[in-house]
Structure formats: structure tokens, C-alpha cells
């Protein structure tokens, strides 16, 4: 009828691919961005070393820039860097990363990449067809899942709970004819586990039997406190070894890493890198040359001390597995409900990244791990003064420059007890302990 509104519906197809619609925004990055807008937040949203790039490495990068080394480099890296990395690899494993082989298998090749993430992305893009499957350990670094989906693949989750060990029966149930790769990280992000030789050999046997690529993400290899890192590349030629310099030298923003794997795989990854990342940033390749000759033992010793302090502080009051490497610890969340804990923390200016696993209804609390009920914390902590309570752990923490508070304790963390003033630290009491935080750090009590 005349005068009545007429509704016109415009229908059009979304411009976004189905692959893209599977990708979720990083809660870690959301919290990281939010932290920059808040005044003095306690930011637990992102994990990275709290020490600076060594001065000599900074100077090398600046010198390269000033000398005009800012153009494209060979896709696989400048020759002098590849030579240096091959020497490093040979010293670690006893065979060459260029033309060498493991256990008499096919020859390897090496290429420089834009961090470990660049290497893993290239590898999955090269090997995956639609609906091919990738097995990842749970808990895991969520990039593995999302890049698999970008490439049209399907992720399957090999649970490592409750002790974060690799279990043969779990992997056997997950392997199918469509399984293309198994991704592990050792030392593990987010648990800090270093997988034993028995665990690695179990994976190698399964991979050999089923012709599966193992992608071994070893970016935390330098951060080892108990035992040594066993790599599948020593025992299985169909392994892609991934390492980066982000954590070991405090340069996560520089995007520098490298990978070693079967020649055929590396050749295809190189072609793909030509059309995507192009090359590792040129001046930072020069800087890595200097970094590889820089002694980082003092920094690593400091992280070892922090690991011991944090674990000893938590072990009597939380269910927690002692991390053997990396700089994370993964205690069970208070009340066994990490989602509720993270939500409550956000209400009190404490930023914790939350990622819900749609299939398992899991929750991530701080940093990268996906878990059913755990809180992940980092002891990558920048500390200062403290008030001198008599607790041995607090006293040791202060001596090492680990713990202090910059903020008043939120009421919900004090559980009805007195609220602590800024600049003070709770004494530890039996059964009442909490999670050490990154950078400006406090110890929270809980019932």
C-alpha cells in the first residue's frame, strides 16, 4: 500500500574465505593492546624475555643499517650467516645442516626464516592439502592450530595431561592416512617440559611407520635447566628442525630464525618464501652473526634461579609440574576454573589472555597455552625492591631482584583478608600462596 515502508534486502557473498573464518583473533594480542591504554596494569598477556638485546648486537644492527645493508638478501640467507648456522648445527648434532644426513637418511638443507613462525607457516603451506591432518600436543602454542587451518588442514590434539608427557597410545589413536605432520615444541611452550629420549624415540618410530613429518619447534633450546634437549632430527631424516633467536637474545621483534630439514622440503619452502616473506630482515641477519658469538650464560643462569624460586613458591599450594626448560610454569588454576579466574582478574586491572577451545571447552590463561583448567605464568620477571619480610623465599626473591609490587592487591585475590598497600609483599604462609607475575610482580595469597 502507498505510504508503507518498503524493505529492500541486499544479499551478497562474504569476501572472506572459509579458511579465514576459522581463524580467531589472538586474546594475547588483544590484552597486550589493552594494556597500553590502561594506567599501571598488571599485564600477563604476552611472554617474552625481560632483558634487552646485548649492546654489541644492537651496534651490529645499527652499523648494518648505516652502511646501507637494507636491501633484499638471498632468500635462504646471506652466505656468512648460513655458514655460521651450519657450524652451530654441526657442533650441536654432529652432522652438517647442508648436505648432511641423520641416521643415513636423505640429505638436509638450511634456510634463514622470519622467526620460527615463518618457518612453520612455510612448512605447513608446502605439505598440506585440503583436509590433511596435523597432530599437535595439548596444551599447545595456538599458532600451530590457526596456521594449519589457514592451509586447509585439520588439527588433532594429543593430550599430555596430567604430567605433560607424550603418550604412545594417544598418538596411535590420532594417526590416520590423512596425517601429514606432528608438531612438538621442546622445551615445551607452555609447560616447560623437555621431552625425554624415550618420548622422542616413540614419536620417531610412529612417524617412520606412517611416513609422517615431525616439525620440532626448539626456540627455547637455550633455556634448559634439567637435562638436555633431545631432538628428533638426530634420529629421523623426515624432521624439520626449527630454531629462532627471539628468546635467546631478547629480539622477538626482529623476526630472525632458521630451519633445517629434508632438501626437497626446504627447496619448496624457499620458493614459497620468495613470494611471501622474501627474506629475513637484512640488517638483522648481520646482527645475528654477532649474537651467535655473544655469551648469554649470565642471563640463562638468572632464568634458572627464577625457575627455582617460582616452582618452590608454588609447589606446596598448587598442582604444578616442575618446568625443565623455557621460562613458563603451568600450575592448575585456583578453583579449577581458569575462565572464571581470568574474568575476575580483568575486573581488577589484571590482564590475562583468555582463549576458549571450542571443541574441548578449554581455556587459556596468560601466554600461549590451551588448557582445561590451568594458569600459565612466566618467570620472565623484571623486579626491584621489596620490604624485607622474613620468609626465606621472599627474601631470596628480593635478593635476586625478582618480586615486588607496583599496585595494591585486588580484593578478590586477598580472599577477604587485609588489602596490601602498594610497595609491599605478602609473607608466605602455609597453604596460602599465589602466582608470581611478570615484570612488576607480586605474590598473591589464596585460600
DSSP H/E element including 213:
strand 213-217
For 226, other C-beta atoms within 10 Å of its C-beta total: 13
> How far is it, in rounded angstroms, from Cα 314 to Cα 394?
12
Across the strands, what pairs with 425? Answer: none
Write the DSSP string, 90-133: HHHHSS-SSS--STT-SPEEEEEESHHHHHHHHHHHHH--TT-E
> How far is it, in rounded angstroms, from Cα 332 to Cα 324?
17
How far, CA to CA in Å, does 370 sit from each of 106, 161, 196, 314, 390?
A: 35, 12, 22, 20, 37
pLDDT band per the 50, 70, 90 thresholds, residue 428: very low
Using CA atoms of 231, 232, 233, 235 in order, give the dihedral in degrees to the nearest 10.
120
Contacts of 71 (CB under 8 A, 6+ apart): 282
How far, CA to CA in Å, does 368 sit from each of 217, 340, 344?
A: 14, 18, 19
> How far is it, in rounded angstroms, from Cα 316 to Cα 27?
30
* Total count of residues recorded for the chain: 447
- Report pTM: 0.76
Q: Which tens digits make up the pLDDT trace of 4-53?
A: 666 555 545 567 787 777 777 665 555 556 556 666 655 555 667 878 99
Angle at which helices 115-127 and 263-274 cross, to 10°: 110
* Max mean pLDDT range (269-278, 358-367, 394-403): 269-278
pLDDT band per the 50, 70, 90 thresholds, residue 106: low
Q: Average pLDDT over the chain, rounded to whole?
A: 76
Predicted pLDDT of residue 23: 74
The grid cell for 403 is: 618480586
pLDDT band per the 50, 70, 90 thresholds, residue 332: confident
Residue 150 has pLDDT above 80, yes or no: yes
Q: Which tens digits make up the pLDDT trace of 221-257?
A: 999 999 899 999 999 999 999 999 999 998 999 999 9
**Do 437 and 377 contact (CB within 8 A), yes or no?**
yes
DSSP 8-state code for residue 429: B
What is the dotted CATH code of the domain comprising 69-291?
A: 3.40.640.10
Amino acid at each position: 500500500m502507498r505510504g508503507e515502508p518498503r524493505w529492500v534486502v541486499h544479499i551478497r557473498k562474504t569476501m572472506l574465505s572459509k579458511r579465514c573464518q576459522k581463524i580467531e583473533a589472538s586474546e594475547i594480542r588483544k590484552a597486550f593492546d589493552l594494556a597500553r591504554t590502561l594506567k599501571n596494569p598488571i599485564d600477563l598477556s604476552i611472554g617474552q624475555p625481560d632483558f634487552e638485546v646485548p649492546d654489541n648486537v644492537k651496534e651490529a644492527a645499527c652499523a648494518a643499517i648505516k652502511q646501507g645493508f637494507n636491501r633484499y638478501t638471498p632468500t635462504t640467507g646471506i652466505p656468512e650467516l648460513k655458514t655460521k648456522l651450519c657450524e652451530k648445527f654441526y657442533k650441536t648434532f654432529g652432522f652438517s645442516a647442508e648436505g648432511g644426513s641423520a641416521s643415513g637418511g636423505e640429505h638436509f638443507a638450511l634456510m634463514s626464516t622470519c622467526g620460527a613462525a615463518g618457518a612453520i607457516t612455510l612448512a605447513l603451506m608446502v605439505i598440506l592439502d585440503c583436509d590433511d591432518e596435523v597432530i599437535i600436543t595439548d596444551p599447545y602454542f595456538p599458532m600451530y592450530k590457526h596456521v594449519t587451518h589457514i592451509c586447509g588442514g585439520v588439527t588433532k590434539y594429543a593430550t599430555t595431561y596430567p604430567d605433560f608427557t607424550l603418550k604412545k597410545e594417544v598418538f596411535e589413536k590420532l594417526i590416520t592416512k590423512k596425517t601429514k605432520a606432528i608438531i612438538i615444541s621442546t622445551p615445551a611452550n607452555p609447560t616447560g617440559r623437555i621431552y625425554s629420549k624415550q618420548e622422542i624415540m616413540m614419536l620417531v618410530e610412529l612417524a617412520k611407520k606412517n611416513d609422517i613429518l615431525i616439525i620440532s619447534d626448539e626456540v627455547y633450546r637455550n633455556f634448559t635447566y634439567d637435562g638436555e634437549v633431545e631432538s628428533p632430527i638426530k634420529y629421523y631424516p623426515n624432521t624439520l628442525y626449527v630454531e629462532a633467536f627471539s628468546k635467546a637474545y631478547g629480539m622477538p621483534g626482529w623476526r630472525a630464525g632458521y630451519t633445517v630439514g629434508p632438501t626437497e622440503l626446504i627447496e619448496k619452502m624457499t620458493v614459497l618464501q620468495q613470494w611471501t616473506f622474501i627474506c629475513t630482515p637484512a640488517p638483522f641477519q648481520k646482527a645475528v652473526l654477532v649474537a651467535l658469538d655473544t655469551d648469554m650464560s649470565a642471563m640463562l643462569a638468572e632464568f634458572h634461579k627464577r625457575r627455582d624460586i617460582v616452582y618452590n613458591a608454588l609447589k606446596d599450594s598448587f598442582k604444578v609440574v616442575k618446568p625443565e626448560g623455557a621460562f613458563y610454569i603451568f600450575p592448575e588454576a585456583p578453583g579449577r576454573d581458569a575462565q572464571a579466574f581470568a574474568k575476575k582478574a580483568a575486573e581488577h586491572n589484571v590482564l590475562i589472555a583468555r582463549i576458549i577451545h571450542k571443541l574441548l571447552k578449554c581455556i587459556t590463561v596468560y601466554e600461549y597455552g590451551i588448557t582445561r583448567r590451568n594458569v600459565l605464568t612466566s618467570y620472565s620477571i623484571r623486579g626491584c625492591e621489596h620490604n624485607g619480610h622474613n620468609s626465606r623465599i621472599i627474601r631470596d626473591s628480593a635478593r635476586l631482584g625478582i618480586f615486588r609490587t607496583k599496585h595494591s592487591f585486588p580484593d578478590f585475590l586477598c580472599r577477604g583478608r587485609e588489602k596490601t598497600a602498594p610497595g609491599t609483599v605478602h609473607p608466605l604462609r602455609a597453604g596460602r600462596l599465589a602466582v608470581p607475575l611478570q615484570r612488576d610482580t607480586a605474590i598473591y595469597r589464596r585460600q
